[in-house]
Structure 1
Amino acid sequence: MSGAAPRPIGQYVLKVHGRCDLSCDHCYVYEHADQSWSAKPARVGADVVARAADRIAEHAGAHGQRGVVLILHGGEPLLLGVDGMRAVLDALRARLDPVVGLDLRVHTNGMRLDERFCALFTEYGVKVGVSLDGDRAANDRHRRYRDGRSSHAGVLRAVALLRERRHLYAGILCTIDLGNDPIAVYEALLAEDPPMVELLLPHATWEVPPLRPAGVPAPYAAWLGEIYRRWNADGRPVPIRLFDSVLSAARGGASWTEAVGLEPVDLLVIDTDGQWEQADSLKVAFDGAPSTGMTVFSHSVDEAAAHPGVAARSNGRDDLCAQCRSCEVVGICGGGLYAHRYRAGSGFDNPSVYCADLKALIRQIVPAPPRSGASPDEAVHRVPAAALDSLGRGPGDDAALALLAASQLSITRALVAEVAAAQRARGRGRDDRELARVAAAGWALLCELDESHPGAVQKVMSHPFVRTWAVRRLRPAAGARTSLDQAHLAGLAAAAAIRAGISAELRLPVRDGRLHLPALGAIDVGGSAGCALVRISPDAVTCEHGGVRQTVRTVRAGGLRFPVDDLDPFRDAGEWVPSGRLSGPDWHAWRGTFAAAMRVLRAQLPDYLQGLAAGVRVVVPLARPVREATAQDTYGAAQDAYGAAQDAYGAVAVGPHPDPLVLGERVVGAFQRAKSQALSELLELCGNGEVLRVPWCAEPQRADDVLHDAYVRLALAELWRARGSPRRARDERDGLARRVDALLGSGALTPDGERFVRQMATAVD
């Protein structure tokens, strides 16, 4: 063990009730090796609560902590009753609020959650996490009453109460069972609209190993992998802590679960009798495993944190076994959950009993290293502090913008590869079989070009609507022409071949009378249907049906170049309606206004314009918006006039407007939001889908939406200041300041998110 001083403790679990009204057969408290619960009080005493609060306050003050997390647990904590729970919450708030920011949470099975508890938790600011293992069949495998009755209906009643009170809803905890269908579990959990899902491996050790079907080397990775692929194809609609932590750790960021990563575990448990204990999961190892021999009455938090068992979970790689330290994925896996390493004779100096599963899962989630000749580090995008600060201040420098673009390219490449691997285009009809062959031929050529002409493939993959297409292909809408979408692979290959300047022949699918070449344009073949042969040479591109080639057009202003795409079939990436191909007069008018807008920005916001020129790969003209924006509109009031889409980084969409000032504002606002969305994919800024109560809106707001809106307002405040409009600049600045204050005071930000927002605050000042 390292001789360093113990780290400050930032998370506490307070056992307020030591019994439970369910009899879950996988419960680590009652069903595993440690049975110390039976000799401890059923209810926590007022003296324990008071002394625990004093110890936490003392520790927070000594270490200068701004906030701590305190989770009320059990057993089943709601067995304490509303009055008993109120007494606990009142004591905690009275002693801790004057000293440190307190993030209060409760984990419950939901059986006793009702309107009275919800009102109490609203009053004291307590967030509620609920255990649910999926649909009724999945949930009832383990979570039943002692007499065998189902608990499923009761859980759903509890979750329904939380859905109506989003400010209370912390998320759902789900324990994996290989006997349950993973996609059915995933869909059942998402049906409850949780702000976060935590998927938990069933607790096990080398002495009592987990269930493993014969002949399946990594069954838990296979089970989780099915959910990961569906979740990824769905556009990651809800944070799943395990997957998000693997992705973050792979980028060199933080992990938000003990199950993976090398982040120090800064957690202590206080049992109903006041004993300081280690993590509850250790109860699966041996009787007495969580014990420290210390209590809140006799020992401080620092003394408990110095216990060898607690400290061993805070030293990262140094306290792992030799096998783990030499593993290629140790920086992501972190050795797995500490309790899962236990083996009699060697204690916890072992790999996790889930070692094979963790390795296999990580290889499914983290993109494979680049092709030979590239450094493995090139597959991992880390955000240096300088890049984060540069983006937080507003425009972002060249290095920061290049990092965003590179990370988005990696995401797109992974999605396109997943589309190709799925090969679901094969259908029963002749047309479907032909489209499947077209897709396969396109993918084969694309792979060849990726080896021989990687720059050409990169150019195509960097086109924003390639990712839009891939996401839709993996998550098809009802009635979508999936075979036709799959065959778009051939269009990607043709576009790459044209950029590479090679000779090739490919059949391309006809969509709405056109053969589409992403980032380049289209070939209009009129009334033709099915597929058409395209011949590519270094000098020309021809189609067997003839046809007129239409190219992506360009606006040039002040030496800068902006491609304008009014052809790509997937350019409706956001909640916007793109225009059709602009006619001659309309195109000339649009181009003139856009060029004038960029010239104005060169004079007013040169730093932001430089970022636009570096990061905007395509501009999409919108059809006339329902409500035309005015010069007095803020970004939030004019979202029908312009925007950026999560799945199309590098694209900004702007509605028509004759005033270059308004058009310039729209472009700046759209790209500002695109940057913050891309950064949020690269680096977790707001944890666990948090929602905020904000003074400017009656409904709770998602923390990440507040952050994105603040980031847009940062640019607009600077724009209106540069334009000499102090009232508009002040309005945007005040709106930004309110959002910055709300975010910094919420506890919803990760350390990286706090740093980013503080840079915005500095820019405001």
Structure 2
Amino acid sequence: MDVHRVSLTSLRTIAAGNATETELHLLCSAQRSQLLLVLRALLGHMNEAALSARCPGGAAAAEAAWQLLCAAEQEAPEAVEAVLADPTVMAWALRLLRRLGGTADAAPSLPLWADLGQFQTLAAAAALRARIPAELRVPAYRGTVWVPSLGVAGPVARRRWSLAEFRVERGGFVVRGEHAEVRLPWPAPVPAPGWRPLRPVRGAASRGSGSGPWLDTVTPYRDFTQYPKSPGALGERRLRAWEDRLAEAHALLERESAVDAALVRTMVRVLVPRPFQSARGGLVASASSVDAFGAITMSLPYDATQTAAVLVHEARHQQLNALLSLVRLIRAADDRTDGTRPRLHYAPWRSDPRPVLGLLHGTFAFSGVARFWRTHRRHVTGTEAQRADFEFAVLREQLREAVASLAAEDDLTEAGRLFVDELAAQIRDWQGEEVPALPARLGRHYCLLRRAVWRARHLTIDEAAAERLAEAWAAGEPAPDSLPDPVLRPRPDRIRLDTFGPLARYRLSAPHLFERGRRQAERGGDPARRAEYAVIAGDTAQAVRHYGEWIRREPQNAEAWVGAALAWQEHDSRAGASLLLDRPDVVAGVCRAVASARGEAPDPFLLAAWLGGADTAGVRSARTTSSGV
């Protein structure tokens, strides 16, 4: 195990985002060793599992496939390396190991014999790459046969699951099923009848022969949650758009950040396109999985810059997943001796509360993205610079808050605290950097809005405490000196799609299109949309009016109050605005209690001012109901 030991120096270097090639190789090597251990564990279970698998024609011997893998490694080690470098191999192996151990999250939809039979496909792919003549029986899903690290062949059958013959010959290979056969030369060609290969990303430097990066739209284990999957239906034009975008992003990273370029080159071997409408405002769906080291899934970003940022983000997740397999940064749940449950935290880039591991992952990933934008803004001008300034300003503030939460977390190990301290030092160094006025204003507004809205959604106060405060309010008594502490009660049903962030990015990157959208919203949009447009445009007086309309429509909508409070802060002083931003949870709780007791909601600003200790008796009689802003 000393082969995979991480020194304290390396831990600090990785935390700071400056991992050397040696350290990146260490992480990749550890993942390869883990995969070999999993494959060896599978081999020990397969014969017993095959007895109950009911494989048509009888189960193929796992030992024979293992021996073929060993022979391929002796003959051509690079052949086996290329097969094992396919991240979907690890995804298959780990899922099958959990299935055999009875710890799978859900029952897979594929028969056990087919899951076990994929071991034969590993050997077949290795034999093909090593040019070792072989003949194996392999599973076919909807007639297609998975060839790890290469692609899929078929269809050769019509049934959902069937057995096919895979034969490696001197000049190529043959896949024969119940109704057809596919005969292909080696090296396997570009897309051809009966052959759908992984597509190499043009312009992206590879870690080595056959190791990617690839675009994967075909392999059955490419999805992180559902498997198997049939080959996708992306057309040639769409695939070329993906290749161009990725090639441009890799080139951008090579020009601007050698460290990030090396990270992405090493950590991202496979990219799985996912359907999600790309947006100029920054909406990109992306994900990584601890089961598929080296693979990421993402929707098509708007441009090369956004693509580079997403690649850095997901590469950071991959890097941390690999590190966590070697170094424990967070105490395991079984280590807790006080009987308490792990805490959930505010992660500024998420709408839902996150456990400490999720917060650590997000902080590490977004610190890489923040550094990317910090570097990129020095290389560009005009609207592109404003866009980069905004992203840096937002992430710098969000990371400052997130790392403070991590530093106060009791579940960090000694190594975890060292890791977080290194992150915190880097983020602290960014706080004094100057950002131009417009992106700075929008970034500050966006961070305050997200924080307050999150608190309004997921924090609440004790119902009895809210009722006591409501009674004091109704009786005209002064508010108590201290407010009740909030309780975290996650409410995913209250989460709605973020619209402010995409609109702010639109304003900075395409101001003429933003103005056109604003004019359209003024003609027929809802007041929330009109209010956000007005705030982003800098017309806070108009924003105050629109937020007032929103509050009149939905008197107890805390998001409307928060937006109004922020607009008032920028427009003019207003009693209660500060408390609405700092403690929207207590205002919302008391507001509900007052409405329940009296049948009408109080003015949220007056209520917040009263809770903050202001004397509101002079104006309450005239504004006992929600009169807007």
Aligning the two structures, in what range does the TM-score lie when normalised by the shorter sequence?
0.5 to 0.7
Q: For residues 579-598 of structure 1, what are the structure 2 equivalents within 5 Å?
A: 580-598=232-250
Higher helix share: 2
CA distance in 1, matches of 2:69, 2:217: 25
Give the corresponding residue for 1:710.
363
After TM superposition, list the pairs within 5 Å mapping 1:466-545 onto structure 2.
466-476=89-99, 477-478=106-107, 479-528=109-158, 530-537=162-169, 539-544=171-176, 545=180
Does the 8 Å contact 1:456/1:500 carry over to 2?
Answer: yes
Spell out, residue by residue over 1:361-406, the C-alpha distance to the aligned partner (whole angstroms, 9 max, x if none).
xxxxxxxxxxxxxxxx54xx11122321221111522111111111
Q: Distance in 1 between matches of 2:22 and 2:423?
A: 19
Q: Displacement, 1:595?
A: 1.5
CA distance 1:533–1:410, shift in 2 (3 Å):
same
Q: Which moved more, 1:739-748 or 1:443-452?
A: 443-452
- In the TM superposition, what is the alpha-carbon distance from 1:761 to its structure 2 partner? 2.0
The AA in structure 2 aligned to 1:498 is: L
The CA deviation at 1:456 is: 2.7
Deviations 1:311-353 (A, max 9, x none): xxxxxxxxxxxxxxxxxxxxxxxxxxxxxxxxxxxxxxxxxxx
- Report the Cα distance in structure 2 between the residues aligned to 1:412 and 1:743, rounded to whole angstroms: 31
Question: Matched residues in 1 for 2:52 and 2:8: separation?
Answer: 53
Aligned residues: percent identity?
27
Matched residue SS, 1:421: helix
CA distance in 1, matches of 2:131, 2:53: 35
Please show how residues 623-638 of structure 1 align to structure 2 within 5 Å.
624-625=275-276, 628=278, 630-632=280-282, 638=284
Q: Aligned runs of 1:540-689 on 2, under 5 Å?
A: 540-544=172-176, 545-547=180-182, 548-557=194-203, 559=205, 562-574=213-225, 580-622=232-274, 624-625=275-276, 628=278, 630-632=280-282, 638=284, 641-689=285-333
- Normalising by structure 2, what TM-score? 0.56
CA 1:630–1:704 in structure 2 vs 1: closer, same or farther (change >3 Å)?
Answer: farther
Partner of 2:417: 754
Residue aligned with 2:289, SS: coil
Structure 2 unmatched ranges of 5 or more = 100-105, 183-193, 207-211, 334-340, 378-387, 430-629
1:192 alignment partner in structure 2: none
CA deviation after TM superposition for structure 1 residue 699, in Å: 7.4
What pairs up with 1:354-365 in 2 under 5 angstroms? Answer: none
1:127-148 per-position Cα deviation (integer Å, ceiling 9, x unaligned): xxxxxxxxxxxxxxxxxxxxxx
Aligned pairs (5 A) from 1:293-332: none
Tell me which amino acid in the other structure corresponds to 1:739.
A
Letter in 1 for 2:315: F
Tell me how far 1:643 sits from its aligned partner.
1.0
Cα distance, 1:453 vs structure 2: 4.2
Matched, 1:413 2:36: yes
1:399-422: per-residue Cα shift (whole Å, max 9, x none)?
111111111111111111222211
TM-score by length of structure 1 reads 0.46
Q: Which amino acid aligns with 2:406?
A: L
Partner of 1:722: 375
CA offset at residue 601 of structure 1? 2.4
Query: How has the CA–CA distance of structure 1 residues 553 and 632 changed in structure 2, closer, same or farther, with 3 Å as cutoff?
Result: closer
Code of the residue aligned with 1:692 in structure 2: it is R
Secondary structure of the structure 1 residue equivalent to 2:55: helix
Q: 1:512 to 1:414 in 2, by over 3 A?
A: same
Contact 2:360–2:406 under 8 Å retained in 1 = yes
- How much does 1:642 deviate? 0.7
CA separation of 1:432/1:696 partners in 2, compared to 1, >3 Å: closer, same or farther? same
- C-alpha distance in 1 between matches for 2:171 and 2:247: 31
Q: What is the Cα-based RMSD across aligned positions, in Å?
A: 2.7
In 2, are the aligned partners of 1:460 and 1:492 still within 8 Å (CA)? yes
Deviates more, 1:581-590 or 1:524-533: 524-533
Cα displacement string for residues 653-698 of structure 1 (whole angstroms, at most 9, x for unaligned residues): 1112342222222222111111112211111001124833545689
Counterparts of 2:243 and 2:268, CA distance in 1: 16
Contact in 1 for aligned 2:346/2:354 (Cα 8 Å): no
Superposition deviation, residue 432 in structure 1: 4.3
CA–CA separation in structure 2 for the residues paired with 1:557 and 1:491 = 30
Are the counterparts in 2 of residues 388 and 400 from structure 1 also a CA contact under 8 Å? no
Q: Distance in 2 between matches of 1:631 and 1:395?
A: 30
Alpha-carbon distance, 1:428 to partner: 6.0
Question: Counterpart of 1:683 in 2: which secondary structure?
Answer: coil
User: Which residue identity is paired with 1:729?
Assistant: F
Aligned residue type for 2:168: I
1:734 to 389, 394, 397: 397
What is the DSSP-based 3-state SS (H/G/I as helix, E as strand, rest coil) of the residue aligned with 2:213? strand
Provide the secondary structure at the position in 2 that maps to 1:673.
Answer: helix
Match of 2:23 in 1: 400
For residues 64-99 of structure 1, give each alpha carbon's deviation from its aligned partner in whole angstroms, at most 9, with x where no partner exists: xxxxxxxxxxxxxxxxxxxxxxxxxxxxxxxxxxxx
The answer to whether the 8 Å contact 2:96/2:115 transfers is yes
Which residue of 431, 447, 461 maps to 2:84? Answer: 461
Q: 1:209-220 counterparts in 2 under 5 A?
A: none
Are the structure 2 counterparts of residues 660 and 574 from structure 1 closer, same or farther at C-alpha, using a change threshold of 3 Å? farther
Structure 2: distance between partners of 1:513 and 1:711: 42
**SS at the partner of 2:17?**
coil
Query: What is the rounded CA distance, in whole Å, between the counterparts of 1:385 and 1:429 in structure 2?
Result: 47
Q: Describe the superposition over 1:625-669 as per-residue Cα deviations: whole angstroms up to 9, x where unpaired.
A: 2x6555445xxxx5xx11110101111111123422222222221
Number of corresponding residues: 379
DSSP-derived class of the 1:550 partner: strand
Tell me, what secondary structure is at the counterpart of 2:332?
Answer: coil
The answer as to 2:327 corresponding to 1:692 is no
What one-letter code is carried by the residue in structure 2 that aligns with 1:496?
Answer: A
Shift of 1:485: 0.6
Partner deviation per Cα, 1:483-539 (whole Å, 9 max, x = no partner): 101000011001111222222222221112211111111211343552222221453
Q: 1:291 — aligned with what?
A: none
Shift of 1:438: 5.7
Report the alpha carbon displacement of residue 762 of structure 1 after superposing the two structures with TM: 2.7
Whole-angstrom CA distance in 2 between matches of 1:516 and 1:608: 32
Classify 1:399/1:581 alpha carbon distance in 2 versus 1 (closer, same or farther; 3 Å): farther
* Aligned-partner Cα distance in 1 for 2:232–2:15: 36
Partners of 2:79 and 2:129 within 8 A in 1: yes
Other-structure match for 1:187: none
Q: How many angstroms apart in 2 are the aligned matches of 1:733 and 1:578?
A: 41
The CA deviation string for residues 86-135 of structure 1, in whole angstroms up to 9 with x for no partner, is: xxxxxxxxxxxxxxxxxxxxxxxxxxxxxxxxxxxxxxxxxxxxxxxxxx
Q: Which residue of 1 aligns with 2:55?
A: 431
CA distance in 2, matches of 1:615, 1:695: 28
Take 1:439 and 1:649, find their aligned partners in 2: how far apart are those partners? Answer: 24
Q: Is the 8 A contact 2:56 2:163 kept in 1?
A: no
